[in-house]
Amino acid sequence: MELDDLKSTWQNEGNTATQNNLTTLMINNMTQEKYNSKIKKIRLPEIIGSSICVIAAGFIALNFNRLDTIVLQGIGVASIIILLIISVLSVLILQRLNLKIDLNKPYAETLKIFATQRLAFYKLQKVNIILCYLLLVTIIVLLPKLFGNKDITEYKYFWLSTFTTGYIVLFFLSKFVSKYYRKTLQQSEELLKELA
């Protein structure tokens, strides 16, 4: 079997497809706005995540006076910065996802844009994961002070288990992300090389 032998399968698939016989009404319905709803649905989780980060940063800022040592204040500032960066990254990821492609462009050009966007998207995701690792440390240190002004050593076993669980979850999440993205990244890079 060679490529030309696959032609008959392809033609046959076309014959089956034309039997579907799209009617004027069906085509008419497909041109309506209601079918363009995917992107709108994607926005919601990204917006919620971003809002949570901004709210958390605001909460730390409002309770900053509870952080009574220079170290805690430094960690507080770092947490606010990390939360804001995560929030901005989420918006950037969303923007990349929503970026409209000019459909009139040749296929190769669209592929180039697609592969470039995909690489940038996954790099942003990677940065997000690293920041989450850092945030886990800073938040765990700050939480006892922010909720009840307690010293972290008073509930050391609770915080130790929280810290460990958080890291285990993040470890598996980052493992999953890197495994899932590795192939995609490789494919995107190869595609860009070929299109260069």
Partner 1 sequence: MDKKERFIAAIKENEGFIYKIAAVYTNNTEDKNDLVQEIIYQLWKSLDSFNQQSSLNTWMYRVALNVAIFQLKVSKKSISIIPIDEQITNYQEKDDSDNDERWKIFREQIDTLNLLDKGIVLLYLDNKSYEEIAAIVGITKTNVATKLSRIKEKIKTKIHKNL
The residue ranges that bind partner 1 (CB under 8 A) are 1-4, 6-22, 24, 26-32, 34-39, 41-42, 97, 101, 103-111, 114, 117-118, 187, 190-191, 194-195
Amino acid found at 58: G
Minimum CB separation from partner 1 for residue 98, in Å?
Answer: 10
Closer residue to partner 1 in complex, CB, 27/70: 27
Minimum CB separation from partner 1 for residue 176, in Å?
Answer: 14
Minimum CB separation from partner 1 for residue 52, in Å?
Answer: 19
Residue with tokens 């890079």: 189
Minimum CB separation from partner 1 for residue 122, in Å?
Answer: 10
Closer residue to partner 1 in complex, CB, 73/186: 186
Alpha-carbon distances of 171 from 83, 93, 129, rounded to whole Å? 19, 22, 10
Minimum CB separation from partner 1 for residue 24, in Å?
Answer: 5
Closer residue to partner 1 in complex, CB, 6/61: 6
Closer residue to partner 1 in complex, CB, 66/126: 126
For residue 135, the Cα-to-chain-centroid distance in whole angstroms is: 17
Closer residue to partner 1 in complex, CB, 36/65: 36
> In the chain, helix, strand, coil percent, each to 5?
85, 0, 15
Half-sphere exposure of 51 (CA within 13 A, CB side): 6
Tell me the angle at which helices 70-98 and 38-62 cross, rounded to the nearest 10 degrees: 170
Contact 93, 125 (CB under 8 A): yes
